[in-house]
Amino acid sequence: MTENGTYVYYPGCSLQSTGRAYDTSTKRVAQHLNLTLNEIEDWNCCGATEYFSVNALPAYSLVARNLALAAETGGAPEVVAPCSACYLNLRKTNDYMHKFKKLGAQVNQALAAGGLHYEGGSLRVRHLLDIIVQDVGYDAIGAQVTRPLQGLRVAPYYGCLIVRPDTGYNTEYPTHLDALMTTLGATVVDFPMKTHCCGGHMTQISEEVAYELIRRILKNAADYGADAIVTLCPMCQLNLDAYQGQVNRTFNTDFNIPVMFFTQLMGLAFGLSTDELGFGSEMVPAMPALSRIGRELPEERERPKRRDKQALPMPTPRGSGRSES
Amino acid sequence: MVHTSPKPGLYEQIMAETPGGEALVTCLQCGTCGGSCPSGADMDSTPRRLFAMLMADMDDAVLESNTPWYCVSCYYCTVRCPQAIPITDLMYTLKQSAIAAGKFHKDAHANFSDSFIGYVEQFGRSFEFGLATRFQLTHHPLRTVRKSGLGFDMVRRGRLHTAPDRIRNMPQLTAILNEAKRIAAQPVPAGGVT
Amino acid sequence: MSEEKIGVYVCHCGHNIAGTVNVEEVSEWAGHLPNVAVAKNYKFMCSSLGQEMVEEDIKQEGLTRVVVAACSPHMHEPTFRGACQRAGLNPYLFEMANIREHASWVHQDDKEAATEKAKAIISGAVRRAEELEPLEPFRAPINETTLVVGGGIAGINAALEIANSGHKVILVEREPSIGGHMAQFDKTFPTLDCAACILTPKMFDVGNNPNIELLTYSEVEQVDGFVGNFTVRIRKRARMIDTGLCTGCGDCWERCPAKVIDFVYESGLGYRTAVYRPFPQAVPKYPVIDTESCIYYKNGRCKACEKFCPTGAIKFDQQDEVVVANVGNIVLATGYDLFDARRIPAYGYGRLANVFTSMEFERMTNASGPTNGKVLLRDGVTQPESVAIIHCVGSRDKNTNIYCSATCCMAALKFAHLVKEKTHAQVYNFYIDMRTAFKDYELFYNRLLEEGTHFIRGRAAEVTDAARQPGEEGKLIVQAEDTLIGKQRRVPVDMVILMVAMEPRADASEVAHRFGIGCSDAGFFTERHPKLDPVATMNEGIFIAGTCQGPKDIPASVAQGEATAARVLSLIGKGEVQVEPVRARIDEDRCSGCRICNNLCPYGAIDFIAEKGVSRVNPAQCKGCGTCVAACPSQVITGQHYTYDSIMAQIEGLLYDQRTPDEHVRVLEMEPA
Ligand SMILES: Cc1cc2nc3c(=O)[nH]c(=O)nc-3n(C[C@H](O)[C@H](O)[C@H](O)COP(=O)(O)OP(=O)(O)OC[C@H]3O[C@@H](n4cnc5c(N)ncnc54)[C@H](O)[C@@H]3O)c2cc1C
Ligand code: SF4
Ligand code: SF4
Ligand code: SF4
């Protein structure tokens, strides 16, 4: 945790439009947890993936302007981004400027044309979820829960960029969002597709490709009995939510799974109202799923507590071998 | 013959322009990237095959391939590659080279990127509504009707603005981007961007 | 300055040196150095002609010092010392200048700089040579007992070979029984002969050979001394069994109520009891009580084994024993560990029940294993109808281990055959390259091709249970690029086997440190020379055999085990060892008796002679590391062969072109007090 829980906040373009509910709920939850988010003055777009496709140096420079402004924002040397794509671009630019000296020098040459300078690596770029689970911590969050999300079965969806290429979390099967949801009282379903791609910008390029990627994720969430998918990226939320209807039409399916931001669910568990948390703007209505909260879950499907006599032990890390008497 | 021309070919150029790209020479052709790629089935060549073509100096075929354009930047290939090759970043460089050479695949959304960049360079922020409409109108005019239903719903829910946001200090950003483009236009020095 | 006559010989090493360093120029230049009487260059100094040239010059020209500028002293210092000795020159008056590893090989793209650097290195060697003093090696008798550490197939063969020649062996094994990994297998490639049938007789021989003292459930804690004269401390962990009484009848483990997963012998796929014998053919036959899982040690109750033991052999209060032994040679054969498949989350091991490791599968096919040899899914009843075998899991991967584990392609073929034989399931091998080198291995590959096994050339990208299309529900789907077609494939199967890498033992670097040997980057023990001295180490008298040196199969492990025996026996045959006189020596007249050096010595080689009030180095224990030399405040400790003067002269020589005629380089202003 930074000193007195202050961070530099980079909302990014999506949080101003398609992901507005994420911005609203983030600010509300931060306030509830006494976190101060100082928004970067006059920040610009992070370039998404598009800018990097066309011309790398201007793309790095575009991002670096935000970092330079962030360094001037004062307070803690930690920038928090709720959008996974923004997070990746900020972090990558920050790292590369530090690691690849020539690139860093060139970017600074460009920044100088605007009267700015940024020392690569001098800030730490973090994703909002990382701050919530690492800095605030499960215990402190658990202590705030007044209305546990009991009865809600969620599929925790991480997407790509919060775990890849290298953020220190398991790159294929992270569990920190799972743990956060459990802390809030929700039931977490196993979700093998949790870090697969939501299609990103493919929705704009090739619908066939994008819808198939979205379908795989929705199908997996449905197969594992999720009431809702919880996300941490506005792009993922948009693709899984706004295109669900199109996916149903294309593949003749009937998915009806609301897609929420983890901050919205945190807020709910903290006893905040749905209005304060930006609910209502989702295309697949969240209300039917939310109305399950508080209800008893039907008995878990028969899962024999004691293994069958013949069954072979599941792999357990050596040393944690439980005795079976 | 491969690698005999004094002028570096596309292969060398792509590596030089990608941070850490020189690792590509160690590609084992194992196919982990091609097997991991969520868009792998839709690409005309898997990333692995594209790299083999690149090494075989099939420059035009590489530039015209749809592979980089179908990359969704999921980074699965990058984290799984046993030779720690920055494959996703190489895909970005390949797109840039295709645009620079004017040879990109017909399915490429180079002008989607262009529209996106256009908005960013004009306003400093992206503008999803304008982007979607402009791109759809040029590429899939018939689908726009269908999509606009969705767009309308989004507007109604306050999730799409019909006018773009704009940052205050646009001159500063413009100056930075222009300078970056000027530097980028200079030939890549030996040793690449690292 | 001394009045020595120095001969300098610059070696071409074929093109290795001459291709980069201008050897003519260098030898011509060296001829003008002070005190250099002879300077020559020659194509191969190590050849007999090269050596004879040195011998001839010593005799004819009366050389008093010899410098050969060639390769690393590791290989040829002994060669040229021998030449000096034959010509009647004390071998410690020879100095080697390494202009290959230190100049030509590392500066191949800058011949001029390489040539200049070679001159500097030679100049340093010449100046150092002036300061060398004649020395005599220590001679010490060789203790004829050998310590073998690790009772896998490599260690077993080393021990038997030495013992059969009539010499004593102490075999120390960490687990309750010898056998190692081979004891876990049912069949061995490429001939598919029964592992137990060929291993058990050898284990039996070890247990019954009067020359072998077998210490199982034991570990070496401390090693002192030097070649021919090591002293080792061995901890014999308490078995809680009186082996004098126990008959190995098995009443105890049949009654033991504490059941735990067996991570060692069953590789996590099966259970054992708290009092256990790892497997029926175990040598020795006695069980041990694992005090961590025994109920009695937790809450003081149970004692079922004690009640049922017909001979009263259970001893709950047995204590560890420490054995101190003197041995002349040591063979390390500590084997390998397996890669933890959880480190590659894309393969789902630990999450997806029917993903197995190779060793789990070995246990499954073993007739005395948890499924009595049946190939079954994790539920313990269902036979798979399709099986995927994934190669290179944790091998050939910069994120885990960069090396090839060398045996897993062949083991994968063995598994494919066993699956077919036992279930008739379809088998899919996902591989990058098929590595079936060595005798008859390719034949085995052919046999598997004939059996109709599917081979998909592509490293598996992931194993998932997320069904995407019909036909995948309830299956494990292996997704990969079939690189020969250039297309992605999804292969639904019931069972996946991960061919996990062979890794260095988790404690390999600790063990290496204890025995004073090195580890490679990958963590395996380092041999003295990768080609010509594969089982010796940099520490004389310590040998390595089997997979602790690097991944290899059983035939290669056996061959190395036997090779170490040959090396040990040849040393024993000599009867005595010559030990390098590179030792610290304390000038007792000037020693103030401050005792600072006493505790600094990492080998405990310095004793304090109370009656004289001075410290003294015990040359048998000293390894010549120099720690005390640097620490002595009175500067009265000399490192023989590396004296203060010789080192300073070498530095001065190296910097020959940095010095004006009448001015010493700055480092030399510091003189001993
Ligand atoms: C799945 C699989 C299948 C295989 N199948 C075949 C096959 O069919 N044919 C074939 O030729 N090869 C096969 N191999 C290779 C074979 O396992 C090895 O070549 C062989 O077992 C190596 O023997 P080792 O003695 O070097 O090591 P190990 O078998 O590992 O033995 C080492 C011994 O040292 C002991 N030890 C370790 N550390 C210490 C210590 N500090 N102090 C005391 N004792 C210690 C251990 O307990 C162990 O008993 C296979 C390998 C694998 C992974
Ligand atoms: S994963 Fe890496 S090594 Fe394998 S084919 Fe792709 S780029 Fe080459
Ligand atoms: S980063 Fe791009 S190329 Fe790599 S797996 Fe993802 S989509 Fe495919
Ligand atoms: S032996 Fe085969 S499976 Fe094992 S690491 Fe080498 S190539 Fe891979």
pLDDT one-digit tens code per residue, C494-509: 999 999 999 999 999 9
Check whether domain C6-135 has CATH 3.40.50, yes or no: yes
Selecting from C260, C295, C370 the residue whose C-beta is nearest the C-beta of A312 gives C370
B residues 152-191 closer than 8 Å to A (CB): 153-154, 157-161, 165, 167-169, 172-173, 175-181, 183-184, 189, 191
Does residue C180 sit in helix, strand or coil? helix
In the predicted structure, residue C343 carries a pLDDT above the cut 60: yes
* Record: fold of C584-640: Alpha-Beta Plaits (3.30.70)
Give the alpha-carbon dihedral of C377, C379, C385, C386, to 10 degrees.
-40
CA distance A63 to A107: 10
Question: Between A73 and C573, where is the model more confident?
Answer: C573
Please give the structure tokens belonging to residue C614: 């001075």
Cα of C559 vs centre of ligand 4, distance in Å, is: 21
What average pLDDT does this structure show over B82-87? 96
The 10s digit of each residue's pLDDT in B144-166 is: 445 556 667 777 777 777 777 78
Tell me the shortest Cα–Cα distance from B124 to chain C, in angstroms.
39
Which residues lie below 8 Å from residue C658, measured CB to CB, with a gap of 6+?
C665
Q: Are A252 and A216 in contact (CB under 8 A)?
A: no
> Has residue B190 been placed in a domain?
no
- Which segments of chain C belong to CATH 3.50.50.60? 146-237+321-335+506-576, 338-503
d(CA C366, CA C383): 16
Clarify whether residues B63 and B136 are in a common domain.
no
From A46-60, B2-16, C607-621, the region with the lowest mean pLDDT: B2-16
**C483, B33: Cβ pair inside 8 Å?**
no
Q: pLDDT at position A323, please?
A: 44
Q: C393-426 pLDDT, tens per residue?
A: 999 999 999 999 999 999 999 999 999 999 999 9
Q: Amino acid identity, residue A199?
A: G
Residues of C in contact with A322 (CB under 8 A): 260-261
Residue numbers in A near C263 (CB within 8 A): 318-319, 321
Q: How far is the CA of B15 from the centre of ligand 2 (A)?
A: 14
| B48, B121: one domain | no
A306 touches chain C (CB under 8 A): no
Two tokens at A308? 């069958």
Nearest CA in chain B to A107: B180
* Yes or no, beta carbons of C270 and A193 under 8 Å apart: no
Check residue B132 and give its pLDDT.
Answer: 58
Q: What is the pLDDT of residue C120?
A: 95
Closest CB to C258 among A311, A312, A323: A323
Quick one: pLDDT at residue B108? Answer: 67
Residue C130 has pLDDT above 70, yes or no: yes
Confidence of residue C491 (pLDDT cuts 50, 70, 90): very high
Selecting from B128, B176, B193 the residue whose C-beta is nearest the C-beta of A100 gives B193
Does residue C176 contact residue C264 with C-beta atoms inside 8 Å?
A: no
Which ranges in chain C are annotated with CATH 3.40.50?
A: 6-135
A325 interaction partners in chain C (CB closer than 8 Å) = 257-259, 295
Fold topology of C338-503: FAD/NAD(P)-binding domain (3.50.50)
Name the residue with the closest Cα to ligand 2, atom 6. Answer: B33
C344 to chain B: closest CA residue: B80
Report how far ligand 4's centroid is from the alpha carbon of C409 (Å): 5
In a domain, B3, yes or no: no
Total tally of structural domains belonging to chain B: 2
C67-88: average pLDDT: 95
Does B15 fall in a domain?
yes
Contacts of B43 in chain C (CB under 8 A): none
**pLDDT above 70 covers what percent of chain C?**
97
CB contact under 8 A, B180 and A110: yes
Determine phi and psi for B155, rounding to 5 degrees.
Answer: -65, -45
The CATH architecture of the domain made up of A6-128 is Up-down Bundle (1.20)
Nearest CA to ligand 2 atom 8: B27
Classify burial at A119, counting beta carbons within 10 Å of its beta carbon; exposed 0-12, middle 13-18, buried 19 or more: middle
Is B114 found in the same domain as B159? yes
B22, part of any domain: yes
* Interchain contact A155–C (C-beta under 8 A): no
**Helix, strand or coil, per DSSP, at residue C388:** strand
Domain of residue B82, residue span: 10-105
Q: What is the structure's pLDDT at A55?
A: 81
Confirm or reject contact between A321 and chain C (CB < 8 A).
Answer: yes
CATH of the domain at B25: 1.10.1060.10
For chain A, what's the residue count? Answer: 325
For ligand 2, the distance from its centroid to the CA atom of residue B2, given in whole angstroms, is: 20
Do B167 and B86 reside in the same domain of the chain? no
Chain B residues within an 8 Å CB radius of A13 = 125-126, 128, 165
Per CB-CB distance under 8 Å, the chain B contacts of C432 are: 28, 30
Q: In 3-state terms, what secondary structure has residue A93?
A: helix
Residues in chain A with CB shorter than 8 Å from the CB of B76 are 160, 164, 197
| A230 at B interface, C-beta within 8 A | no
Nearest CA to ligand 4 atom 1: C406
More confident residue, A46 or C552: C552
Residue in C342, C357, C380 nearest the CB of A312: C380
Q: Is residue B193 part of a domain?
A: no
Q: How far is B72 from chain C (nearest CA, A)?
A: 17
In a domain, B5, yes or no: no
Mean pLDDT of the residues in chain C: 94
- Rounded Cα gap, residues C364 and C371, in angstroms: 6
End-to-end distance of chain B based on CA atoms, in angstroms?
28
Q: Name the percent of chain C lying above pLDDT 90.
A: 91
Contact C255, C308 (CB under 8 A): yes
Interface check A276 vs C, CB under 8 A: no
Cα gap C344→C333, rounded to integer Å = 29
Single residue among B52, B82, B105 that ends a domain in this structure: B105
Cβ–Cβ of B117/A51 closer than 8 Å? yes
Which residues 84-103 of chain B have a CB within 8 Å of chain C? Answer: 84
Do B123 and B99 fall into the same domain? Answer: no
Q: Is B113 found in the same domain as B52?
A: no
Average pLDDT, stretch B64-92?
94
Residue B192 has pLDDT above 70, yes or no: no
CB contact under 8 A, B35 and C486: no
Q: Are residues B131 and B101 part of one domain?
A: no
What is the DSSP code (8-state) at residue C638?
E
Q: Is the CB of C402 under 6 A from ligand 4?
A: no
Q: Is residue B1's pLDDT more than 50?
A: no
- C-alpha to C-alpha distance for C666 and C520, rounded to whole angstroms: 38
Q: Where among B105, B130, B164 does a domain terminate?
A: B105
The pLDDT value recorded for residue A322 is 45
CA C336/CA C548 separation, integer angstroms: 6
| pLDDT at residue B79 greater than cutoff 80 | yes
Alpha carbons within 13 angstroms on the beta-carbon side of residue B130 total 18
**CATH number attached to the domain at A138-293:** 3.40.50.11810
| Same domain assignment for residues B25 and B40 | yes
Which residues, numbered 63 to 102 in chain A, qualify as contacts with chain B under a Cβ-Cβ cut-off of 8 Å? 65, 96, 99-102
pTM for the model stands at: 0.88
Would you call C188 helix, strand, or coil by DSSP? Answer: strand
Report residues of chain A scoring pLDDT below 50: 302, 304, 321-325
Where in chain A are all domains bearing CATH 3.40.50.11810? Answer: 138-293
Residue B191 lies in a domain: no
On whether both B174 and B88 belong to a single domain, the answer is: no
Q: How far is CA C542 from the centre of its chain?
A: 10
Give me the pLDDT at residue C219, please: 97
- What does the alpha-carbon distance between residue B121 and residue A47 come to, in Å, rounded to a whole number? 10
Is the pLDDT reported for residue C666 higher than 50?
Answer: no
Could you tell me which CATH number the domain at C146-237+321-335+506-576 has?
3.50.50.60
Q: Where are the alpha helices (DSSP H) in C376-523?
A: 408-423, 441-450, 508-515
Residue ranges, comma separated, of all CATH 3.30.70.20 domains in chain C are 584-640
Mean pLDDT of C552-561: 98
Q: Determine the average pLDDT of the residues in C631-657.
A: 92
- What integer pLDDT is reported at residue C619 of this predicted model? 83
One domain, residues B85 and B157: no
Distances (CA, A) of C464 to A192, A194, C419: 7, 12, 22
| Start and end residues for every CATH 1.20.1050.140 domain found in chain A | 6-128
Query: Min CA distance, B57 vs chain A (Å)?
Result: 22
* Contacting residues of C for B30, CB less than 8 Å apart: 432, 458-459, 483
Beta strand pairing call for C212-215 and C218-226: unpaired
DSSP assigned state of A186:
P
Using only C-alpha atoms, chain C has a radius of gyration, in whole angstroms, of: 31
Residue B172, domain member (yes or no): yes
- B85 in ligand 3 pocket by Cβ < 6 Å? no
Do the chains contact at C488 and B32, CB–CB below 8 Å? no
User: In the listed set B105, B138, B159, which residue is the last one of a domain according to the structure?
Assistant: B105
Residue B177 is nearest to which of A62, A208, A281, comparing CB atoms? Answer: A62
Alpha carbon of B138: minimum distance to chain C alpha carbons (Å): 32
**Does C450 contact chain A (CB < 8 Å)?**
no
Q: Averaged over C166-179, what is the pLDDT?
A: 98
